[in-house]
Structure 1
Amino acid sequence: MFADLAQSRPGAVAVEDDWERITYAELDRRATALAGVIFSRGGQGRFVGVLLGRSAQTIVALLAVLKAGAAYVPLDPAYPRARLTEMIEQCGSTLVLTTAAVHDEVGEIAVDVLWLDQAEHDAVTDVFAEPERRPSDPAYVMFTSGTTGRPKAIVVSHHNVVNLATGVDYVELNPARTVLQFAPLSFDASTFEIWGALLNGARLVVAPEELLESEQMGQVLANHSIDTMWLTAALFHRIVDTDLSALQPVTQLLAGGDVLSADHVRRALAAVPGRTVVNGYGPTETTTFACCHRMSTPEDAGHPVPIGRAVPGARLWIMTREGQPAAAGEAGELWIAGDGVSLGYWQDPAENSRKFVPEPGSPHSRAYRTGDLVRARDDGALEFLGRIDDQMKVRGYRIEPAEVEAALIEQPTICRAAVTAQEFRAGDKRLVAYLVLSPGAELHVPQLRRALSAKLPAYLIPARYVVLDDLPVTRNGKVDRRALPVPEWMASTTHQP
């Protein structure tokens, strides 16, 4: 699909950053040359790690991996070395694309490294014949937090990505659009940003790596005339509160990853006539978006803001505890079926059989059990009601508390731990760790944070630590998370914003 676009729009800008601007024809040529090198290094049919930050060069690398008949594995340079090594080992990524600068930052990793700094000099001079691929072939592997204390590897196919990026009805994606690439590659919103732009002939603008503040955001959006972008719910709320004018050029604003505030949506809509705000919902296992709620007027927001209706290619089921379709208006677990359902967890048959189940009435089709409790409104739009388990969302990241708790109790000073998400400010949650210390031990927060940082990425490290004599439990002996005390954020010296 991309090659066809490159032929029909050779001179149009495909991707740009602060350093370079690449046309569709040039992106196709550079990716094909790099694909030849990857193929010659035995990359076909493998999971290839991409250890790079945001840049136009990174987009070349992703496309090259796919052209070589491989699947890419986003590896965030900000992750600790132990986490990167575990991800590489878990999915068998023996070939990793990186640059000397990035590799030096993360230290040695025991794999076959392809240096992008030198790859162009190594490019195969013969015409590279791309290998045959099927829609069901893996396109990428994305990791999420796992209940066992280890991240889970989710394999997404070419068919899944094409379903997400083309023929959508919740936003316009066409050659007239300019899309911001802002999400980390290891976050599945990047799938929508990158392929939603490049499979529809749009211009993809890669945000600077250091882009954080709303003032900087406004400059980037204005300088590049960005009209389409995605934000986590927490960042969306923050920008609306602090500098709504930063979003002035954006006429299509997608947000999600957590519950959206109806008041913030209304303010964003009122600020720019003709703007559309989309609440996008979907787990990584179903390829970024499974349902969306499109809002064009303040009245569309509702309270609470619904997660909407199925995107094209998706089928949504609300199921009772007994595994039967719920009655009209009844709450139940959301099951998702259709073209977005991924290939599943890599080499984890037990978890696959638990989470990927036969679709009701279609035994040959699979549905993914989200663990999310929902209810259909009278107009058919779905409302998110919460979780049926302990999983949490913080700043758009899906977090299994068991993974953080496992890292905490590895520390010799901690004998028991519970982790939950508490609201720091409206629409902005932070992780809180509740600890029972070993006899005679003291809590040294900086030392504990350093130990956790060697194992966990930043989004899994708690912002606040609360020492308790014991953890409250329910009648069946499980930690009673509802009974854990709410921290006094501003009084704490251990809080990290």
Structure 2
Amino acid sequence: MFADVVRSRPAAVAVEDDRERMTYAELDRRATALAGVIADRGGQGGFVGVLLGRSPRTIVALLAVLKAGAAYVPLDPTYPRARLAEMVERCGLTLVLTTAAIHDEVGEVATDVLRLDQAEDAAPAGVVTEPERRPSDPAYVMFTSGTTGRPKAIVVSHHNVVNLATGADYVELSPARTVLQFAPLSFDASTFEIWGALLNGARLVVAPEDLLESEEMGDVLARHRIDTMWLTAALFHRIVDTDLPALQPVTQLLAGGDVLSADHVRRALAAAQGRTVVNGYGPTETTTFACCHRMSTPEDVGHPVPIGRAIPGVRLWVMTGEGRPAAAGEAGELWIGGDGVSLGYWQDPAENSRKFVPEPGRPTSRAYRTGDLVRTRDDGSLEFLGRLDDQMKVRGYRIEPAEVEAALVEQPTICRAAVTAQEFRAGDKRLVAYLVLSPGADLHVPRLRRALSTKLPAHLLPARYVVLDDLPVTRNGKVDRRALPVPEWVAATVHQP
């Protein structure tokens, strides 16, 4: 599909940032040359790590991995080295693409490291024969937080990506559009940004690597004339509150990863005529978006904001605890079937059998059990009601508290721990760790955070630590998270990632 775009729009701009710009023909040429190097290094047909930040070179690398017949595994350079090493080991990566600067900073993570700032200069200019691929072949592997204390590796196919990025009815993607690539590569919103642009002939603008928050967002959006972008719910709320004019060029604004505030959506719609705001919902296991709710007028918003209807190729099921489809208005677990359902967890048959089940009425098709509680509204759209387990979303990241708790209780000063998400300010949740200390121990937060940061990425580090004499428990002996006290958000005690 990408080759079709190259043939039809070779001179159109494919990807750019503040320093460089590539046409579709140039992007294709560079990716093909790099694919030959990857194939020569034994990267064909397997998984290849991509240890890179945001840049046009990263887009070249992703395309090159796919051209070589492999699947890419995003490795975030900001992650602790121990976590990167675990991801490399889990996927059996022998080849990792990076740059000399990142490699020097992170250190050796694989047996074979290809430094792109050296490899691209030496890449052969000849024609590389691309291997045959099937729609069901893996395109990428993405890690999410795991209930066992270890991250889970989700394998997503070419077919999954094509279903998300082409023929979309939740957003208009065409050669006339300019899409911002802002999400980290290890976050599945990047799938929509990158392939939604490149498979539709749009212009992809890569945000500066140091653009972490909203302060400079307006400059980037105006300078590159961005009209389509995705934001986490927390960042969307913050920009609406602090710098709504920054969004002026954006006519298609997608947001999600957590519950959207109806008031903020209405304010974003009122600020620009012709703007559409889309509430996008979907687990990584079902390829970024499974259902969406488009809003163009205040009347479309609703309260609470619904998560909407299935995107093309996707089927949604609201299932009761008895395993039957729920009636309209009845709460139930959301099951997702159709073309977005991924290949599953890498080398984890037990978790695959638990979460990927036969789809109702389609015994040969699989559905993913989300663990999310929803109900069907009178207008046919879905309303999110909460979780059936302890999983939570913070700043768009899916977090299993068990993973953070496991890292906490490894510390010799901590006897027991519970982690939950508490609202820091309207529409912005932060992780809070509740700790029972070992006898005679004291809490030294900076030292604790340094220890945790060697094992956990920044989004899994608690923003607040609360010491308790004991953790509240339910009648069946489990931690009663609802009974945990809401912390006082004193600036001096809140720790930013």
Partner of 1:204: 204
- The 5 Å alignment of 1:80-119 reads 80-119=80-119
Q: CA deviation at 1:2?
A: 0.5
Following superposition, the deviation at residue 328 of structure 1 comes to: 1.7
Which residue pairs with 1:250 in the alignment? 250
- The equivalent residue for 1:490 is 490
- 2:470 paired with 1:470: yes
2:412 is the counterpart of 1:412: yes
Give me the whole-angstrom Cα distance separating, in 2, the residues matched to 1:23 and 1:242: 35
| TM-fit CA distance, 1:125 | 4.5
- 1:110 Cα offset (Å): 3.5
Matched-pair contact (CA < 8 Å) for 1:445–1:494: no
Helix, strand or coil: the match of 1:215? coil
Which residue is 1:191 aligned to?
191
What residue ranges of structure 1 are gaps of 5+ in the alignment?
Answer: none
CA distance 1:120–1:299, shift in 2 (3 Å): same
Partner of 1:78: 78
Kindly report which structure 2 residues correspond to 1:127-138, keeping only aligned pairs within 5 A, or say none: 127-138=127-138
Counterpart residue identity of residue 88, structure 2: I
3-state DSSP of counterpart to 2:493: coil
Q: Give how far 1:491 is off.
A: 6.3
Residues 132 and 422 of structure 1: CA distance in aligned 2, closer, same or farther (over 3 Å): same
Partner of 1:142: 142
Equivalence map 1:225-244=2 (5 Å): 225-244=225-244
Give the partner amino acid of 1:394. Answer: V
Letter in 1 for 2:298: P
Which string of whole-angstrom CA distances, capped at 9 and with x for unpartnered residues, describes residues 154-211 of structure 1? 0000000000000000110000000000000000000000000000000000000111
Corresponding residue pairs, total = 497
Q: Distance in 2 between matches of 1:215 and 1:95?
A: 37
Distance 2:140 2:21 in 1: 25
CA deviations 1:429-452 (Å, max 9, x no partner) are 000000000000000000000000
CA contact (8 A) 1:489 1:495 kept: no
Q: Deviation per CA, 1:298-325, whole angstroms, max 9, x where unpaired? A: 1111000000000000000000011111
Q: Which residue of 2 aligns with 1:346?
A: 346
1:9 corresponds to:
9
Equivalent residue number for residue 182 of structure 2: 182
What is the aligned partner in structure 2 of residue 158 from structure 1?
Answer: 158
What's the counterpart of residue 328 of structure 2?
Answer: 328
Match of 2:315 in 1: 315
1:219, 1:358 → 2: CA distance? 48
Instruction: Check the 8 A contact 1:337/1:366 in 2, yes or no.
Output: yes
Shift in Å, 1:124? 3.3
Give the distance between the partners of 1:169 and 1:211, measured in 2 at CA. 30
Mapped pair 1:46 → 2:46 = yes
Q: 1:237 to 1:494 in 2, by over 3 A?
A: closer
Q: Distance in 1 between matches of 2:122 and 2:43?
A: 15
What is the alpha-carbon distance in structure 2 between the residues aligned to residue 51 and residue 491 of structure 1? 34
Q: Give the equivalent residue in structure 1 for 2:55.
A: 55
Q: Give the 4+ runs in structure 1 shifted more than 2 A.
A: 212-215, 491-497
Q: Secondary structure at the match of 1:195?
A: helix
Distance 1:138 1:114 in 2: 21
Q: CA deviation at 1:490?
A: 1.7
Question: What corresponds to 1:427 in structure 2?
Answer: 427
The 3-state SS of whatever aligns with 1:39 is helix
Partner deviation per Cα, 1:241-278 (whole Å, 9 max, x = no partner)? 00000000000000000000000000000000100000
Offset, 1:454:
0.4
Q: Does 1:390 align with 2:390?
A: yes
Which residue number in structure 2 is paired with residue 300 of structure 1?
300
In the TM superposition, what is the alpha-carbon distance from 1:122 to its structure 2 partner?
Answer: 3.2
SS at match of 1:375: strand
In 2: Cα distance, 1:77 partner to 1:169 partner: 34
The AA in structure 2 aligned to 1:232 is T
Q: Secondary structure at the match of 2:105?
A: helix
SS at match of 1:429: strand
| Identity level (%) | 88
Give distance in 2, aligned partners of 1:402 and 1:173: 39
TM value normalised by structure 2: 0.99
SS of 1:214's partner is coil
One-letter code of the match for 1:249?
Answer: P
| Aligned AA (1:238) | R
